[in-house]
Chain A
Amino acid sequence: MAVNAQDAAPKAALLYDAKFRSILYQIITLVLLIGFIAFLATNTISNLEKRGIATGFEFLKHPAGFGVPFSLIEYSEASSYGRAFVVSVLNTLFVSACGIVLATILGFILGVARLSPNWIIARIATVYVEVIRNVPLLLQILFWYVGVLSALPTLRESINIGDSIFLNNRGFYTPLPIAEPGFMAIPIAFLIGIIATSLVSRWAKKRQEATGEQFPVFLTGTGLIIGLPVLAAIVTGFPWTMEYPVLKGFNFRGGFVLIPEFAALLFALTLYTAAFIGEIVRAGIQAVSHGQTEAAHALGIRPRPTMRLVIIPQAMRVIVPPLTSQYLNLTKNSSLAAAVGYPDLVHMFTGTVLNQTGQALECIGMMMLVYLTISLSISAFMNWYNARIALVER
C-alpha cells in the first residue's frame, strides 16, 4: 500500500512539473506541426501526380519566348526563363533603389518642413502627409499611371531636348554611353576615390582628436570621388561613344529608355513612402531634447554645426529603426507593379513565367526567397548601422 502511494505521488507530480509539461507541450506542438506539414505534403504530391505536373527547376533553362518592355541586362525572346528571372529581380531592385533614394530625400525635406517656423510651409506639409498617408498606394499608382500617360505628349510631338533627350508617353529617352577599351579605368578610379576618402576621413578624425584642428573632409571626399574618375576619363581620352535615341519607324531606337510604367510606379512609391518618412523624421527631431540645442549654444557652437554635430546624430538614433521598416515596405510595395505592367519580380516572374510554365510551387518559392533575402539583407545592414551609431555609454 505504502509503496503504491509512493509510486503514485511522483507520477502526479510529474504531470504538474513545469519542466515536464513544457517538454510535453513542445512535443505535442512538434507532432501537430509535422502532421500538418505531412498532410500538406501528401496532398501536394498526390495533386501534382494527378495533374501530371512535373516538379524541378529544369524549366529555368528553357527558352522563355516572350519579350519584356524593360530590362537592365541583355534579354531577348531566345533567353532562358532563368535569365527572365534575373531580369525581373534586377527590375525590382532598380525601382526599389531609386524609390529609396528619392523617398529619403523628399521625406527629410517633408519632416523638416513639418517643423518649419513658417506657418504656410508647415501647413502644406501637414496636408500633404495626411492626404497621401490615408489613400491606398495601389490607387495612387493607378492614378499616376493614367496621369503620366495622359499628361505626356504622343510620340510625334515628343519633347525634344538638344536632339538627344526625348520625352513622350512611350518613355523618357536619354543617350547611352557605350564602353570602349580603356573604359574600366573610370570605375577603378571611382573605387580608388572612395577608398581614399575613407582613409582621409580616418586620418582627419585622428588629427582632430589629437590637435583639435578640423579638416574639410566633405569637400576633399567629393573632390576625390568625382575628380578622380573625371581625370581618368580625360587621361584615357573619353573611352566611350554615346548612343543617341533616334526616331526610326514607330519608336525611338537606341539610347537608354525609362518606360512610363516605371515612372508611374516610382512616382507613387516615392510620394507615398516620403509621407511616412517625413513623419519619422519629424518625430526623430522632436525627440531630441531642447536642452541639447541650448547646451550647444551655451558652448558657443553656431546653429549650423549644432544641427550637424548635435541634433542630427541624436535624431538619427530614433529615426533609423522605423526608417528601415519603411525601406522594407517600399521594396515590398514595388510588387504592386503588376497593376501597371512594370516587369518586376511579381508581375513578370510569378505572373508571366508561372503561367507559361505552370511551375507554381517553384515560381512562388523563388519569389518568396528573393523577398526574404532582400528583407534580411536590409535588416542586417540597418542593424549594423544601428549598432554603429547607437549611444556609447562610457
Chain B
Amino acid sequence: MTDTTMRDFKSDPIVHTPSPSLPPPSSSVGVIGWMRRNLFSSPINTLLTVLGLYLIYLIVPPLFNWAFWNADLAGDSREFCDSGGACWVFVKIRLTQFLYGFYPEAERWRPNLAIGLGLVALVYCLIDGVPWRKWVALFLLVLYPFVTYFLLSGGVFDMPLVETSKWGGLLLTIVIAVTGIVFSFPIGILLALGRRSNMPVVRMLCVGFIEFVRAVPLISVLFMSLVILPLFLPEGVTFDQLLRALIGVTLFSAAYTAETVRGGLQAIPRGQYEAADAMGLSYWKSMRLIVLPQALKVVIPALVSGSIGLFKDTTLVLIIGLTDLLAMVQLAAADTGWIGYVKEGYVFAAALFFVFCFGMSRYSMYLERKLHTGHKR
C-alpha cells in the first residue's frame, strides 16, 4: 500500500527506511470488509444479496412459526391442535407405530436390543485404533444379520414368534436397508470380478446382469419380485412378502455396488496384478490379498453414498404393500381422527431420513479426506 514516491531521496539516499505500512482501509477489514467482499462486491452481487435475503425472509420465518412457534405438542387428540401451526400431537401419538409398525408392545425390547447392538458395534468399528476392531467388524458383517433375524422374528429361546407382516415403521426401513447393504456387498464384488474376468462366458453374464438391472427402475424389480417370482418357483414353494422385497432390493443394489467396485479395480495399476501373478498367487489369493484391499479402500466413499441411495430407496417398498416408515405415516394419516395432518407426518419422516443420510454423507466425506492423505503419502 505504501507508495515509492513518498520516500525522501534528498535527506538520506543511503539509509533506506520505508515508512511503516498504513493499516488497510477500514472498509476492507472486519465485518464491513467481509460484507463488501462477499455480499456487495458489484451491483449484480448486491442485487443477488437482496434477492437471497428476501428469499430467506419468505421461507424461514413462516417455516419456523409453523414448525415451532405456533406448533402444538401437548394433548392427545386433534382438538389440541388449535394454534394454526404444525400439529406434532399427531406424530407424538403415533410415534411408536412410526418406529416399530405393528410390532407387539411387549416384545419391543427385541428390536431395541438388535438395533442397539448393531449401533454399538458400528460405532466401535468407526473409532480408529481400538483393539479387536477387525473381529467386531466381522461379527457385524457375518454373524449380526442372523442374530438380528432370530431376535426380531423370535420362535426360539422362549421368544414368541413375531411374523414379518407385523414388522413396520423405521424398524422395517432399517431392516431392509441393512440387509440390502450387507448382502449386496459380496454379490457386488463377485459381479465386479466377473465383469473383469477374462472368461468370456462369465464376463458376458455379469455385464448382462449389471446392465439390465441398472437400466430398469427399482420399482419394476420390486413388481417383478411380487408378480413374476411366484411363477418362477416350483409349485408350493412360497416366499414371505418381505423376503421377496429383500431379494429384489439386494439384487438391485448389488448391480450398483458392482459398478462402484469395478471403478476401484480399474484404479489399481496393472503392475499390482502382474506382481501378484509373479508371486505365484492363485487368482482368488491375489484378489483377496493384493487387489481387493486396495480397490475397496479407494471406493469406500462411493460405497457409502451408494448406501445412502439404497436407504432412501427403501421407501419404494410401500408400493408393494410393505409398511415401512413412510407407509406407516400414510396409514396413520388415513385414520379418521387425524385426516389432514399428513404433512406433519411427512416432515417428521423427512427429518428422520435427513438425519440418517446426512450423517452418512458427512462420514463419507471424512473418510474421503482421511483416505486421500493416506493415498498421497
Residues of chain A touching chain B, judged by Cβ–Cβ distance below 8 Å, are: 22, 25-26, 29-30, 33, 40, 43-44, 46-48, 50, 116-121, 124, 130-131, 133-140, 142-143, 146-147, 328, 332-333, 335-336, 338-339, 346, 350, 354, 360-361, 364, 367-368, 371-372, 375-376
Q: Which of B253-285 contact A (CB under 8 A)?
A: none
Instruction: Give the contacting residue for B53; candidates A46, A120, A371; CB below 8 A.
Output: A120
Instruction: Give the contacting residue for A136; candidates B53, B200, B230, B312; CB below 8 A.
Output: B312
| In the complex, B109 has a CB within 8 A of chain A | no
| Contact (Cβ within 8 A) A138 B316 | yes
Measured between beta carbons, the chain A residues less than 8 angstroms from B361 are 133-134
The total number of A-B Cβ pairs within 8 Å is 147
| Contact (Cβ within 8 A) A26 B201 | yes
| Contact (Cβ within 8 A) B227 A136 | no
Q: 1/0 contact trace for B187-226 toward A, CB 8 Å?
A: 0000000000011111001000000101111111001100
| Contact (Cβ within 8 A) A118 B198 | no
Q: Which of B310-330 contact A (CB under 8 A)?
A: 312-316, 318-319, 326, 330
| Contact (Cβ within 8 A) A146 B343 | yes
**A-B residue pairs in contact (CB < 8 Å), sample of 14:** A47-B231, A47-B235, A118-B48, A118-B49, A121-B52, A137-B312, A138-B326, A142-B346, A328-B215, A338-B219, A361-B231, A364-B228, A368-B220, A376-B215
| Contact (Cβ within 8 A) A339 B319 | yes
| Contact (Cβ within 8 A) B219 A143 | no
Q: 1/0 contact trace for B340-377 toward A, CB 8 Å?
A: 00110010011001100110010000000000000000
| Contact (Cβ within 8 A) A336 B346 | no
Given A43-B233, A119-B39, A120-B53, do A371 and B216 touch, yes or no (CB 8 Å)? yes
| In the complex, B86 has a CB within 8 A of chain A | no
Q: With both chains docked as a complex, state the minimum distance between the C-beta of B324 and any C-beta of chain A, in angstroms.
A: 10
Q: Interface extent on B, as a size class?
A: 35 or more
Measured between beta carbons, the chain B residues less than 8 angstroms from A139 are 315, 326, 346, 349-350, 353
Q: With both chains docked as a complex, state the minimum distance between the C-beta of B82 and any C-beta of chain A, in angstroms.
A: 19
Measured between beta carbons, the chain B residues less than 8 angstroms from A142 are 326, 330, 346
Instruction: Give the contacting residue for B39; candidates A118, A131, A375; CB below 8 A.
Output: A118
Measured between beta carbons, the chain A residues less than 8 angstroms from B319 are 338-339
Expressed in whole angstroms, the Cα–Cα distance for A227 and B191 within the complex equals: 54
Measured between beta carbons, the chain B residues less than 8 angstroms from A50 are 235
Residues of chain B touching chain A, judged by Cβ–Cβ distance below 8 Å, are: 37-39, 41, 45, 48-49, 52-53, 55-56, 198-202, 205, 212, 214-220, 223-224, 227-228, 230-235, 308, 312-316, 318-319, 326, 330, 342-343, 346, 349-350, 353-354, 357-358, 361
Expressed in whole angstroms, the Cα–Cα distance for A95 and B220 within the complex equals: 18
| Contact (Cβ within 8 A) B353 A364 | no
Measured between beta carbons, the chain A residues less than 8 angstroms from B49 are 118, 120-121
Q: With both chains docked as a complex, state the minimum distance between the C-beta of A328 and any C-beta of chain B, in angstroms.
A: 8
| Contact (Cβ within 8 A) A143 B346 | yes
Measured between beta carbons, the chain B residues less than 8 angstroms from A354 are 227
Q: With both chains docked as a complex, state the minimum distance between the C-beta of A276 and any C-beta of chain B, in angstroms.
A: 10
| Contact (Cβ within 8 A) A44 B231 | yes
Instruction: Give the contacting residue for A350; candidates B45, B220, B308, B346; CB below 8 A.
Output: B220
Expressed in whole angstroms, the Cα–Cα distance for A22 and B80 within the complex equals: 72
| Contact (Cβ within 8 A) B220 A135 | no
Instruction: Give the contacting residue for A30; candidates B39, B201, B343, B350; CB below 8 A.
Output: B201
Q: With both chains docked as a complex, state the minimum distance between the C-beta of B344 and any C-beta of chain A, in angstroms.
A: 11
